[in-house]
Homo-oligomer: A and B are copies of this chain.
Amino acid sequence: MSYTRDELRWNGWGLARQSFDLGGNDEKVWDFLRESVGLPLLPETPARPLEACELPDVRLDAATLASLRDLCHASTEPLQRAAHALGRSYPDLLRLRYGDLSSAPDVVAFPASHEECVALVQYCDSASLAVVPFGGGSSVVGGVEGRGGPGHRGVVTLDTTRMSRMLELDEVSHTATFEAGVWGPDLEQALEARGYTLGHYPQSFEFSTLGGWIAARGAGQQSNRYGAANKWLVAARLATPAGTWETRPFPQSAAGPNLNEVVVGSEGTLGVITEATVKICALPEARDYRAYLFKSFEAGAAAIRRIVQAEIPVAMLRLSDGDESYFFGALQGLRKPHGKGTEVAEKGLAALGYGPGRCVLMVGLEGDKAHVRGALAETLLACTREGGLPVGTSPGRAWLANRFAMPYLRDPMMDRGIGVDTLETSTTWANLPRLYEAVRHAISSKLVRGAVLTHISHSYKDGASLYFTFFFPRAEGGLDAELAQWRGLKTAASDAIADHGGTISHHHGVGQDHAPWLGREKGELALGMLAAAKKTLDPQGVLNPGKLLVD
Contact = CB atoms under 8 A, between A and B. Distances in A.
Interface string A248-278: 1111111111111111111100000000000
Contacts of A458: 252
Interface in A371-400: 371, 374
Given A256-B530, A536-B525, A463 B250 contact: yes
Contact of A254 (B216, B247, B249): B216
A173 B536 contact: no
Contacts of A249: 428, 462
A367 interface: yes
A430 interface: yes
A197 interface: no
Contact of A255 (B260, B427, B428, B521): B521
A501 B175 CA distance: 15
Nearest to A461: B174
Contacts of A261: 257-258, 260-262
Residue picked from A246, A247, A311, most chain B C-beta under 10 Å:
A311
Contacts of A254: 216-219, 228, 265, 503, 505-510
A353 interface: no
A526 B259 contact: yes
A103 interface: no
B430 A173 contact: yes
A96 B41 CA distance: 85
B256 A548 contact: yes
A14 interface: no
Given A259-B526, A525-B536, A252 B228 contact: yes
A256 B252 contact: no
A458 B525 CA distance: 35
A243 interface: yes
B173 A429 contact: yes
Nearest to A248: B521
A37 B139 CA distance: 62
Nearest to A529: B533
Interface string A477-513: 0000000000000000000000001111111111000
Contacts of A507: 252, 254
A237 B267 CA distance: 26
Contacts of A344: none
A459 B87 CA distance: 40
Contact of A313 (B264, B311, B368, B427): B311
B251 A428 contact: yes
Contacts of A523: 245-246
Contacts of A430: 170, 172-173
A175 B462 contact: yes
Contacts of A228: 252, 254
B251 A464 contact: yes
B427 A250 contact: yes
A479 to B, nearest CB: 28
B518 A256 contact: yes
A309 interface: yes
Contacts of A508: 254
Contacts of A247: 522, 526
Contacts of A429: 172-174
Nearest to A256: B265
Contacts of A509: 254-255
A542 to B, nearest CB: 16
A514 B255 contact: yes
A502 B518 CA distance: 36
Interface string A218-258: 11000000001010001000001011011111111111111
Contacts of A501: 248
A260 B281 CA distance: 26
Given A536-B525, A537-B529, A510 B252 contact: no
A512 to B, nearest CB: 13
A465 interface: yes
Interface string A396-438: 0000000000000000000000000000001111110000000
A535 B537 contact: no
Nearest to A238: B525
A264 B257 contact: yes
A16 interface: no
Contact of A279 (B310, B462, B514, B522): B462
A460 interface: yes
A528 interface: yes
19 contacts: A174-B461, A217-B254, A217-B256, A217-B258, A230-B258, A234-B462, A250-B426, A250-B428, A250-B502, A251-B426, A251-B428, A255-B503, A255-B505, A256-B510, A256-B522, A257-B265, A258-B261, A258-B265, A281-B461
Given A245-B525, A257-B266, 20 more contacts: A170-B428, A172-B428, A173-B462, A174-B309, A175-B462, A247-B522, A251-B463, A251-B464, A255-B509, A256-B266, A256-B267, A256-B510, A261-B261, A311-B313, A313-B313, A529-B537, A530-B533, A532-B532, A532-B533, A533-B533
